[in-house]
Structure 1
């Protein structure tokens, strides 16, 4: 008989079936019922969805359009990418997509005096309270009535690192890791019943455990901030955001995804050596350096010519005087 078998026999425990009937199953049923009720209450609190403001939506979609162009511009030819880049850069600089183009010249008002902001913040706090209160009540109920209970044994072995997660509320060093305490069973149900809620309530339900944990950490301020609010709940300066997106677009270099695709395909299937691609990249880099140098020299020549024209104009003026 091995040492592992002896250790398992020493740690063998028999659970009373009443624990399964009066602790294990009731906790799971209560959590399912509370999730369903919370979803229905959240739907009632939401009420009729408000219509989105056309100008605010246009601001957000314009920023998304710039980000999409930077991310997926390789799927466009050079002329199409440059045309979109120039158009969006000019629009961002002129403030074409701004909700209020004259907002920068107006004095900033206190956001707490804005009824729309206050209403949005209160709605977010109510929703977060509906997420926090039920979980706090259930956790207190389990701690008060079922503290220290061992409910179930997992049918597969685990490492010692899972002991703190599966045996919360039971301070024992000799118990096998596969035993689960009542408080840990609560957390397992909290994150494991999402498929059950999706089956009962459908996708997009309000009984989401991850949203509960986020609400507990943000205490309602994160959900109150709308799409035009910053991390601190203050309105964002969309003019500065547009100018920042314009700079990002200007710094984005285009590289067409279908450039030299025939050679790359032949290299991939072994019809040509890989050195062909290396030579192509080197020649392309040299051509880009030569074009940039010629562009810089042309600019310098234009500056010199304008300076010479200005000097000749001043000389003529002196002669006439």
Structure 2
């Protein structure tokens, strides 16, 4: 059996100074620039009508009452009173905002591409552009000027399955998998600088590409059974679902003050 000798290449230090380090710095600077450009492109929140705010607050109060049911600070009489009144109001549509319909348009479907929806689509497209354009420019730049460059050698062994990731632009099938090419180094920085961006810009930054991929997730039409249009929830269906959840929460209700006397006496070793 023949043992393959370990490959030993000698790299010019200029490759480290003029290729390896600049690519890393460019990727960091582009991520920081993407973060601040995204902040500039974000539209300020629009003022919602009072009826829409009332609708959302009612749903939020019902959800809060349901979430605190397993250990509720409300006494049993007060909790059941709140739960019953919320269920009745949600079932009757008391908190639903009035729908504006013109005469003769009762059977006409709602237009999903209203002004608010178009603004959401445009904002998602702008974020996608901020993500894609710099990446395309940098990848083309590296592919043209540094194609086939071997930049570094990893100090730990890897299996052959990593060769397509680390040496994708080097046509040498016998090259050791530990050698990293310029294009592969770009992709490693693209998906591996998330921790650096969190240290520099904080956890809620816009420099990470995976966060921008969800910019238009609300436009996909998922969950259409609960939606009145793309990105618009059907509040009447949500209210009906919340009524059922409140009924289930009553079975899990437990007052936090139940047996408080015995617990206090037990804490002082009086029982």
Cα deviations across residues 281-320 of structure 1 (Å, max 9, x unaligned)?
Answer: xxxxxxxxxxxxxxxxxxxxxxxxxxxxxxxxxxxxxxxx
Aligned partner of 2:23 in structure 1 is 27
On the 8 A contact 2:55/2:95 being kept in 1, the answer is: yes
Cα deviations across residues 70-127 of structure 1 (Å, max 9, x unaligned)?
Answer: 4442112782553443233222212233233677x95533232x22222232222122
Aligned partner of 2:10 in structure 1 is 14
Extract unaligned runs of 5+ from structure 2.
Answer: 261-271
What is the 5 A alignment of 1:1-321? 10-46=6-42, 48-76=44-72, 79=76, 81-100=79-98, 107-112=108-113, 114-170=114-170, 172-214=172-214, 220=216, 222=218, 230=227, 233=230, 235-252=232-249, 253-254=251-252, 256=254
On the 8 A contact 2:96/2:235 being kept in 1, the answer is: yes
On the 8 A contact 1:166/1:180 being kept in 2, the answer is: yes
Which runs of 4 or more aligned residues in structure 1 lie more than 6 Å from their structure 2 counterparts after TM superposition?
A: 257-261
Task: Give the structure, 1 or 2, with the largest relative contact order (CA under 8 Å, sep 6 or more).
Answer: 2
Secondary structure of 1:111's match?
coil
On the 8 A contact 1:95/1:101 being kept in 2, the answer is: no
Secondary structure of 2:232's match?
coil
Aligned alpha-carbon RMSD (Å): 3.7
How far the C-alpha of 1:152 sits from its partner, in A, is 2.0
How far the C-alpha of 1:159 sits from its partner, in A, is 4.1
On the 8 A contact 1:222/1:231 being kept in 2, the answer is: no
The TM-score with structure 2 as length reference comes to 0.72
* Alpha-carbon spacing, 1:212–1:155, altered in 2? closer, same or farther (3 Å): farther
* Higher share in helix: 1
Extract unaligned runs of 5+ from structure 1.
Answer: 262-321
Cα deviations across residues 205-261 of structure 1 (Å, max 9, x unaligned)?
Answer: 32122124445xxxx464799xxx949725332112211222233234315397899
On the 8 A contact 1:93/1:242 being kept in 2, the answer is: yes
* Alpha-carbon spacing, 1:90–1:208, altered in 2? closer, same or farther (3 Å): same
* Alpha-carbon spacing, 1:98–1:152, altered in 2? closer, same or farther (3 Å): farther
Give the number of equivalent residue pairs: 249
Aligned partner of 2:265 in structure 1 is none
